[in-house]
Chains A and B, each alone.
Chain A
Amino acid sequence: MTVFQEIGDFIVYQILGMKWLNDLIGNLIQWLFGESFASGLWGEAIHFFIYDFIKIGLLLCFLIFIISYIQSFFPPERTKKILSRYHGIWANTLGALLGTVTPFCSCSSIPIFIGFTRAGLSTGVTFSFLISSPLVDMGALVLLTSIFGYSVAFTYVVVGLILAIVGGTIIEKTGLGKYIEPFVTEGADITVEGPKPTIKERLIYSKDQMLSTYKKVVLYIVIGVIIGAVIHNLIPATWIESVLGANNPLSVIYATVIGVPIYADIFGTIPVAEALYAKGAGLGTILAFMMSVTTLSLPSFIMLKKVVKWKLLLSFIGIVMAGIIIIGYAFNGLEYLFIK
């Protein structure tokens, strides 16, 4: 083993994976309740719950802080200005990339959609942005690294971006982009730019984002970790393997369809994914589930319906679902390349 490999493993297992925390909690439960309880069904479930809850909470806070700082440089006004200078596939690519760094909350999705459209951006480019924004989250990248290692996390980001670029381009090229509500374009393109924030203001913004995001997603994490702990310890691996294993040809489709009505933050889906994976679900199946949960959700459809017509909304759902299913099967087929 080379030095680099050792450093890499240390980052993946000890810093991101927090194996030391896992051991610490294990010892603590053993010390408090005795060996037989600790190695029993409930002991292990409690162990998994506490470990995962603390690990995800710590990583989440740290990540949101760093990411918010980067995001403070890319308000949507700036993204709009950058994107309006590009055309065609380059605009879609840039839209997908900027989707990952532009701070985005669901209550702002309509003004962003209208603002982009009025600035002359094509609907396809706006959709590339809207697909990548919840899908390719930098926080998710680091969490994925902590569970599945670098290669899976990196590939997830690349295929997520490709899905956003291709999805937006299809909407563009098929002419579906014109099916937006007329009021969206009925108005002038106005841009206001706030004063440039100071470093102190950026740090305060990052801290506020960190706290409010944690408060917002803590419930999802608790639910996700509980479901994860149940799967991890109480559901037999053979069940999961037969329904979601790579050998079941329909597994990816199940995972994608189940994921659509479920609305959860990516941080809540990761503990579920982790537990399913440990129990023998296919890697592609899990990624399809995660992508489907985060990108396609009822609240976002209701939002979008206010600015686009049925034809475009349903096409958007169809295109993204098809893309996720293809990605899922590709990952299941190539799983042996990623996991040794």
Chain B
Amino acid sequence: MIIKILGSGCPNCKKLEANVRQAVKELNIEAVIEKVENMQEIMAYGVMRLPAMVIDGQVKSMGKLLSSEEVKKYF
């Protein structure tokens, strides 16, 4: 599973990345977590609200700081 966190470096983007890492660790699953800050790459997903979470190429959430519990629901 490849999880991408799209964000421009704002506080919520960093918090979301931390929550995703925690969720992956707690569930003990195999996942590659990648932070995307490049605006061109972010726009290629059609996302206008940050932070966003993309799992295996699919946009799962936009403009929401998901808690680690909420993140788990998307795995």
Residues of A within 8 A of B (CB): 75-77, 80, 103, 105-108, 110-112, 114-115, 118, 183, 186-188, 190-192, 194, 205, 212, 306
The one of B43, B46, B48, B65 in contact with A108, judged by C-beta atoms closer than 8 angstroms, is B48
Contact B61 A111 (CB under 8 A): no
Q: How far is the CA of A191 from the CA of B45 in the complex (A)?
A: 8
- 29 A-B pairs within 8 Å (CB atoms) are namely A75-B48, A75-B49, A75-B63, A103-B49, A103-B63, A107-B8, A107-B50, A108-B48, A108-B49, A108-B50, A110-B39, A111-B42, A111-B50, A112-B48, A114-B43, A115-B46, A115-B48, A118-B43, A186-B40, A187-B40, A190-B46, A191-B46, A192-B45, A192-B46, A192-B47, A192-B59, A194-B59, A194-B61, A205-B64
- Across the interface, A76 reaches (CB within 8 A) one of B42, B45, B48, B65, namely B48
B41: nearest chain-A partner, CB-CB: A187
Contacts of B49 in A (CB 8 A): 75-76, 103, 108, 111
Query: Would you give the 0/1 interface string for B5-34, flagging 1 where the beta carbon is closer than 8 Å to chain A?
Result: 001101011000000000000000000000
CB-CB under 8 A from B43, the residues of chain A are: 111, 114-115, 118, 187, 190
Q: For A188, what are the chain B residues with a Cβ–Cβ distance below 8 Å? A: 44
Q: What A residues does B7 contact at CB under 8 A?
A: 107
Other A-B contacts than A76-B48, A191-B46, A192-B45, 15 sampled, CB-CB below 8 A, are A75-B49, A76-B49, A108-B50, A111-B43, A111-B47, A111-B48, A114-B43, A115-B43, A183-B39, A186-B40, A190-B44, A190-B45, A192-B46, A192-B47, A194-B61
CB pair B10 A77 closer than 8 Å: no
Give Cα distance in the complex from A306 to B40, angstroms. 12
Q: In this complex, which of B13, B40, B46 has the most chain A Cβ atoms within 10 angstroms of its Cβ?
A: B46
Instruction: State whether B48 touches A77 (Cβ < 8 A).
Output: yes
The chain A residue sitting closest to B11, CB to CB, is: A107
Contact at A111–B39, with CB atoms within 8 Å?
A: yes
In this complex, how many residues of chain B approach chain A with their Cβ under 8 Å: the count is 23
Bound Cα distance from A187 to B51, whole angstroms: 20
Please give, as numbers and ranges, the residues of chain A lying within 8 Å of B13 by CB-CB distance: 107
Q: Is the Cβ of B10 less than 8 Å from the Cβ of A107?
A: yes
* B62 at interface by CB-CB < 8 Å: yes
A67 CB to nearest chain B CB (Å): 16
Which B residue sits closest to A191, measured CB to CB? B46
Report yes or no: B62 in contact with A194, Cβ–Cβ below 8 A.
yes
Contacting B40 at CB < 8 Å: which of A76, A105, A112, A183? Answer: A183
For residue A337, give the distance in angstroms from its CB to the closest CB of chain B. Answer: 41
Per the bound structure, the CA–CA distance linking A111 and B51 in Å amounts to 11
Which chain A residue shows the least CB distance to B9? A107
Specify the chain B residue showing the minimal Cβ separation from A190: B46
Minimum distance in angstroms from B73 CB to a CB of chain A: 12
Q: How far is the CA of A105 from the CA of B51 in the complex (A)?
A: 11
Task: Tell me the bound Cα distance from A192 to B49 in angstroms.
Answer: 11
Closest Cβ of chain B to A205, distance in Å, is 8
- Shortest C-beta distance, B46 to chain A (Å), equals 3
Kindly list chain A residues whose C-beta atoms are within 8 Å of the C-beta of B8: 107, 110-111
A116 to B66, CA, bound (A): 26
- Specify which chain A residues have a CB less than 8 angstroms from the CB of B47 in the assembled complex: 111, 192
Q: Compute how far the CA of A191 lies from the CA of B48 in the bound complex, rounded to whole angstroms.
A: 9
- Alpha-carbon distance A205/B66, docked complex (angstroms): 11
Q: In the complex, A17→B40 CA distance in Å?
A: 48
The answer for the CA separation of A176 and B3 in the assembled complex, in Å, is 40
